[in-house]
Amino acid sequence: MAPPAKPLSRVVEACPPSGIRKFFDLAQTMTGVITLGVGEPDFPTPWGVREAAIHALTRGATTYTGNSGLLELRELICADLEARHGTSYRPADECLVTSGVSEGLDLALRALLNPGDEVIVPEPSYVAYQPCVAFAGGVAVPVTSDPAQGYRLDAARIAEAVTPRTKAVLFGSPSNPTGAAQSADDLTALVALAEREDFWLVSDEIYDRLTYTGTHTSTAAVPGAWDRTVVLNGFSKSYAMTGWRVGYVCAPEPLAALMHRIHQYTMLCAPHVSQVAAIEALRSADPDVTEMVADYDRRRRLFVKGLDELGLSCPEPGGAFYAFPSIRSSGLSSQDFAEQLLEEQKVAVVPGDVFGPSGEGHVRCSYATALPLLEEALERMGRFLSTRT
């Protein structure tokens, strides 16, 4: 029998597959590859966190929790945000535990947008941002950021893209893929624009603890921002808990209530045992985070210096664990550079154009990889470039 002739979702059909996964999957079929592609810590989850999960399983933590997540976890999340950023949220109705930050992003956009609403997305941007806007019925409006300015959020550039249909600006700080950590001054200018033009700010802060130069500024902590800001965060990156799938969203109660309503009917709740692990992470794993951040910082400085010495100019990333060097000196497109580097030298990077057209001429390299492998990757990249000059 033939399937129904009626067309499938045109919105989903128009969305390309993830460019990050394309190169990761290809690298998985090869031996001896140094993978600088997927943004995942190479550290194991801290032992105390794993041990807490093991004990929770023996006690039967295999059931649903309340839709919003364990209250103890939400209380700890809100206390942590207030201690580190000075932002105040009510655990009962302004904090929602999600199955990773990816679900939080989807919930926020679906609760915010009506069909045709516009969301300004500064580029280069994380690959999920623009597709998730489209899936929620919105229209993504990309705005190019300048590498010469360290990919800072420029309120003047964003203002040029604002229309009566602008509902939100969606961005990450520190950023994936550039590692740019936005300054308090630039966030203040963006908040002033949001107040003047009346739109929301969706702030992805999953890398907030991975900040190397100065301190992280949470968007919601900027004066005037709290009432119009959605904060997305989680445990995947800072605590090396990618597979546990625990994130959270904090927002003013009217919006948080709508996100909760969608979450009730779709995900129900984040995994119970993972929430217990997240509780232990907030209680005891800060020393582990400090050690991991210090190691990432060493890798960051070595790797960016090595890229510059190869002639691949790279703005210094202020956070996360990504470098976003220019590869224009090679004479290759981003796709060709990534494909040929993988084929010839077995180093996997992500072509910059998957993060938006403004990423063309760059590649994303994750330095969440052991120092000896980063040094070997730089040597292989040097051999690759020597055949193209």
Burial classification of residue 10, based on how many CB atoms lie within 10 Å of its CB (0-12 exposed, 13-18 middle, 19 or more buried): exposed
CA distance readout (Å), 365 to 197, 258, 326, 331, 338: 36, 37, 11, 19, 10
Burial classification of residue 227, based on how many CB atoms lie within 10 Å of its CB (0-12 exposed, 13-18 middle, 19 or more buried): exposed
pLDDT in tens, 272-305: 999 999 999 999 999 999 999 999 999 999 999 9
pLDDT value at residue 389 = 64
pLDDT value at residue 8 = 87
pLDDT in tens, 333-378: 999 999 999 999 999 999 999 999 999 999 999 999 999 999 999 9
CA angle at 115 for the pair 262 and 3, rounded to the nearest 5°:
75
| Cα–Cα dist 272/96, whole Å | 14
CA distance readout (Å), 140 to 22, 105, 125, 135: 23, 14, 11, 10
Place of tokens 């709508």: 258
Tokens (6 digits) for 168: 């939100």
pLDDT value at residue 21 = 67
Please list the residues that pair with 58 across neighbouring strands: none
Q: Which residues of the chain have pLDDT under 70?
A: 19-21, 23, 389
Phi, psi of 326 (to 5 degrees): -75, 135
pLDDT value at residue 43 = 95
| Cα–Cα dist 183/310, whole Å | 29
